[in-house]
């Protein structure tokens, strides 16, 4: 297991947002977390790179082991953690810089490369997200001028540039049209050979199509976790069945 959560609880002030979550996420797999709005799926995702620390009044207990190290430990190097566990957001958020500068920004901050190596990092990053052929002659162009899909791919390339191992994706396709969504899904399948991907999505069909394992959350609890095929054909819990068949609520 790359990520294991043990008795994980999280409160926003008095609100109990994650209730005793126990799960194991395997390497080089795509794991989807599904559930209705407010069920805690994005909160769980943000625990994995301690993004919730930025929210006032958050309290967490339990353990989250990434490669056997408890990242909830107060001595955790957060910069190192967020480099290793990168996040792609709902709305692509490139920096207002050139395509090239977007990708080398991380490696420069982390002193990962000398300036000769940066060109290679840019090419590798863009090739990994299948953008190289489209953008190799436009590296100096502003990233904000790209299409939404290209921006989202660029954001994934930024994580590749800082050598993230785990990619957290929070509704990565919700602003994209069906064709661009399909292409990002194909990209995810390519990337899982080298990365562990966890995706949070409202789009159940997407979770069914793209993931190897899936977890269903409801009111802060992880109701069921298992192979995607099993979750979507023979869910064990009636609440999971009600949700995936549209009977929930």
Partner 1 sequence: MERHFDAELKELHKEILKMGALAEEAIFKSIEALKNRDKNGAQEVIDTDNRIDELELAIDERCIDLIARYQPMAGDLRFITTGMKINAELERIADLAVDMCQRVLELTDKPLLKPLIDIPKLSNIAQKMVRDSIDSFIKKDVDLAKTIVLSDSQADELRNRVQEELVNDYMARDSSTASRAVPLLLISRHLERICDHATNIAEDVIYMVEAKVVRHHLEELG
Identify the helix (H) or strand (E) that includes residue 185. Answer: helix 178-191
- In angstroms, give the least distance from the CB of 233 to partner 1: 5
- In angstroms, give the least distance from the CB of 149 to partner 1: 13
Structural tokens at position 98:
């050139």
- In angstroms, give the least distance from the CB of 131 to partner 1: 15
Structural tokens at position 107:
């490696």
- In angstroms, give the least distance from the CB of 247 to partner 1: 16
Segments in 18-176 forming alpha helices (H): 41-47, 78-84, 99-109, 115-128, 132-135, 148-161
**Contact 19/186 with Cβ under 8 angstroms?**
no
Give the torsion sign (CA, 183, 51, 17, 226): positive
Structural tokens at position 93:
């958020």
Residue 110 or 183 with smaller CB distance to partner 1: 183
Residue 147 or 233 with smaller CB distance to partner 1: 233
User: What distance in Å separates the CA atoms of residue 232 and residue 229, rounded to the nearest whole number?
Assistant: 5
- Of the candidates 134, 108, 104, the residue with the CA atom closest to the CA atom of residue 120: 104
Residue 77 or 186 with smaller CB distance to partner 1: 186
Residue 107 or 235 with smaller CB distance to partner 1: 235
- In angstroms, give the least distance from the CB of 67 to partner 1: 29
**Entry field: residues in the chain:** 249
Burial class (CB in 10 A: 0-12, 13-18, 19+), 37: exposed
Residue 8 or 32 with smaller CB distance to partner 1: 32
Residues binding partner 1 (CB under 8 A)? 182-183, 185-186, 189, 205, 208-209, 228-229, 232-233
């Amino acid at each position: 297991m790359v990520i294991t959560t043990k008795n994980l609880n999280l409160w926003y002030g008095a609100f109990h947002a994650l209730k005793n979550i126990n799960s194991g996420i395997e390497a080089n797999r795509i794991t989807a977390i599904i559930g209705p709005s407010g069920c805690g799926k994005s909160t769980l995702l943000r625990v994995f790179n301690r993004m919730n620390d930025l929210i006032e009044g958050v309290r967490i207990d339990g353990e989250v082991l990434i490669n056997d190290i408890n990242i909830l430990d107060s001595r955790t190097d957060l910069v190192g953690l967020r480099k290793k566990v990168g996040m792609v957001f709902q709305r692509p958020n490139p920096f207002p810089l050139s395509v090239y500068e977007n990708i080398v920004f991380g490696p420069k901050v982390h002193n990962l490369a000398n300036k000769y190596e940066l060109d290679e990092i840019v090419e590798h990053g863009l090739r990994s997200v299948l953008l190289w052929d489209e953008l190799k002659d436009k590296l100096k162009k502003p990233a904000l001028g790209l299409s939404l899909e290209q921006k989202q791919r660029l954001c994934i390339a930024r994580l590749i540039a800082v050598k993230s191992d785990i990619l957290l994706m929070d509704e990565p396709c919700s602003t994209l049209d069906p064709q661009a969504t399909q292409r990002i899904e194909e990209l995810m399948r390519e990337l899982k050979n080298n990365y562990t991907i966890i995706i949070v999505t409202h789009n159940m069909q997407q979770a069914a199509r793209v993931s190897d394992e899936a977890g269903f959350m409801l009111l802060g609890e992880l109701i069921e976790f298992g192979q995607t095929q099993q979750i979507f054909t023979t869910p064990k819990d009636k609440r999971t069945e009600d949700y995936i068949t549209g009977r929930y609520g």
